[in-house]
Chain A
Amino acid sequence: MTDRELKLKSVEYRQKILRYIYHAKAGHTGGSLSCIDILNVLYNQVMNVSPENFDDPGRDRYVQSKGHSVEALYVVLADLGFFPEEDLLTLCRYQSPYIGHPTKKVRGMEQNTGGLGHGLAICSGNALAAKKDKLPLRVFTVLGDGEMAEGSNWEAMMLAAHYKLDNLCAILDYNKQQITGANADVIGLEPIRQKVEAFGWVVREVDGNDVCALADTLQCLPFEAGKPSFVIAHTVKGKGVSFMEGVLKWHHGVPSPEQYEQAMKELEEARQKLLEEVVEA
């Protein structure tokens, strides 16, 4: 996929995230918008996962540790053809499998998540099993910055380094906000790079809303043989919608009809701009 196609996907995914959250009147808007570029690049550029190979033991694995940003994952999986996109009109409805966190009831989901601090340990188990079976697959997880306060993440980080799980890559969606406020005010996370490095991982930092930079970074895994890889993806909560960017209330805010119209207009303008660029190119 070209850089422009990837960029276009991100804008379209943002439109879809807002469409389904608006329709459901529920969802984690800010975090889904901050991590969507990461998911876009993982699924469209990096991972060997598709509806066709989803039952193949050799596929790459993705577990979303920050499960609440499930809307971002839904729109990517639908785009890849795991399920019809219109199913997302049932998001959070009575008896719908499309609930507010990942579940295996939805094809394409590897694990049920939602409680924070669970993804990394599960991924470590996946990665270790792959090593034992000499499967060349890779395992990915996206962590939220708020959930880095969960001790279980650090337990898993010790383990992944100990077992030299260089087939494991964790990406921190570092939008620097959590439900109560800025990470720095809630519970200080910094210096996160040094902490993760001290746990034996190799760390790269990247603009997590720049699909080209993300793709470049994630093409060179593992960063170092024998060590797990950690990407600090600096992102903006609510990215792509001017009045949502960095504004705390959009953690799980649902737009009003006027706000929805405004947001979709902005995103459509961004999309048109990209389309024109594609034509020019």
Chain B
Amino acid sequence: MPMEMVQTKDIPNLIVFSETLQALAEIDRDILVVTSDSRGSGKLVPFGEKFPDQIVEVGIAEQNLVGMAAGLASMGKKAFAVSPACFLTARSLEQIKNDVAYSDNPVKLIGISAGVSYGALGTTHHSLHDFAVLRAIHNLTIVAPCDNFETAESIRQAAEMDSPVYIRFGKKGMPTLNRTIDPTFRIGQGRTIREGEDLTFIGTGEAVLPCEEAAEMLAEKHGIRCRVISLHTIKPLDESLILAAAANGQPVITAEEHSVHGGLGEAVAALLFQNGCRNKFKIVGLPDEYTVNGSQIEIFDHYGISGKGLMGTALQLLGSGSGK
């Protein structure tokens, strides 16, 4: 049975992140937040008021943010380095590669307002490259939670990880896609949030919601039953879940708030192809062009990362000889 979508109050993952971290910091004095003049954008003002000794400001200096956090982590601190994903993963890429991943300092890199969350602010403020560049770095877990529940859980689990992790999310309110708290949530293991055998949507981060909307419409209007997987962890990839989903040979569509180059889609494609799967396949994401101007939702709609857009993509794949 398809799981019921929950109409809870839409809370930004950013708020959930901040509240989760406050709860953790209350009981664990080793939790430190490091910000690059980003406590406002990171909704961390309440954190700073409650735990002034557990927040470190470095100013607008992202390289220092990450290098410094590596130094804190190597001394046993649970350092959450928080900065807009666009700056965190580009400006400080060498610090992520060397000081965090290569030196194995278990920093928690938190990329806020990721993807095109800062829609109309333009390309400087978009992070459509982060999965691609970070996937190529050894010893780094990459997580893009889809909703409030996954955000809270991934933050809690990241706090206890003894290896580096990057978590990115957006800033608009997100409905929780699964009413029941899923006690089996684990970083590294994707979640099937809707069962179906005609087609599989594999989404990550805030692109999971449109997958779910597309699946709902396909069921209602066309009687097509789609599986929806929230692949919150881009690396390491949950290979067995993906291969099992593709095993019946039906189409697979990936959706992500990232360039179509080097992200979730290409990771899934490589896995499937190298395992002999020849399913019809489509990567939905941001094409290799100057991104259109607009809000996050308008940009999603423009590029078909929407319920309607993904439904159209599904119908195309199904209509071209897959038997449906």
Contacts and interface: CB of A to CB of B under 8 A. Distances in A.
A125 B72 contact: yes
B71 A129 contact: yes
A158 B72 contact: no
A121 B98 contact: no
Contacts of A89: none
A257 interface: no
B104 A104 contact: yes
A134 to B, nearest CB: 12
Interface centre among A121, A130, A132 (most CB of B within 10 A): A121
B64 A121 contact: yes
B98 A129 contact: no
User: Which secondary structure characterizes the binding site on chain A?
Assistant: helix
Contacts of A125: 67-75, 79
Contact of B98 (A115, A128, A132, A158): A115
Contacts of A152: 63-64, 67, 95
A151 B61 CA distance: 10
A111 B74 contact: yes
A114 interface: yes
A262 B266 CA distance: 58
Contacts of A151: 63
A195 to B, nearest CB: 17
Contact of A159 (B64, B73, B75, B104): B64
Contacts of B64: 121, 124, 152, 155-156, 158-159
B49 interface: no
Interface in B34-87: 53, 56, 58-59, 61, 63-64, 66-77, 79
Interface string A114-125: 110110111111
Contacts of A114: 98
Nearest to B107: A125
Interface of chain B: mostly helix, strand, loop or mixed: helix
A186 to B, nearest CB: 21
B76 A122 contact: no
Nearest to A137: B75
Contacts of A156: 64, 67-68
A126 interface: yes
Nearest to B95: A118
B61 A158 contact: yes
B137 to A, nearest CB: 13
A136 B72 CA distance: 16
A115 to B, nearest CB: 5
Contacts of B56: 128, 163
Contact of B61 (A115, A118, A123, A155): A155
A112 interface: yes
A133 interface: yes
A112 B59 CA distance: 25
A212 to B, nearest CB: 31
A173 B76 CA distance: 30
Contact of B63 (A111, A132, A155): A155
B103 interface: yes
Contacts of A132: 32, 53, 77
B102 interface: yes
A224 to B, nearest CB: 22
A119 to B, nearest CB: 9
A110 interface: yes
A3 B226 CA distance: 78
Nearest to A114: B98
Interface string B2-46: 000000000000000000000000000000100000000000000
B263 to A, nearest CB: 26
A118 B98 contact: yes
B61 A159 contact: yes
A175 interface: no
B99 A118 contact: yes
Interface in B254-272: none
State the 7 A-B residue pairs at the shortest beta-carbon distance, nearest first: A125-B71, A121-B67, A129-B75, A155-B64, A155-B61, A122-B71, A125-B72
18 contacts: A104-B103, A111-B74, A112-B98, A117-B63, A118-B98, A121-B63, A121-B66, A122-B70, A122-B74, A122-B103, A126-B71, A127-B71, A129-B71, A129-B75, A132-B32, A133-B75, A156-B68, A159-B68
Interface of B: 32, 53, 56, 58-59, 61, 63-64, 66-77, 79, 94-95, 97-99, 102-105
Interface of A: 57, 104, 110-115, 117-118, 120-130, 132-133, 151-152, 155-156, 158-159, 163
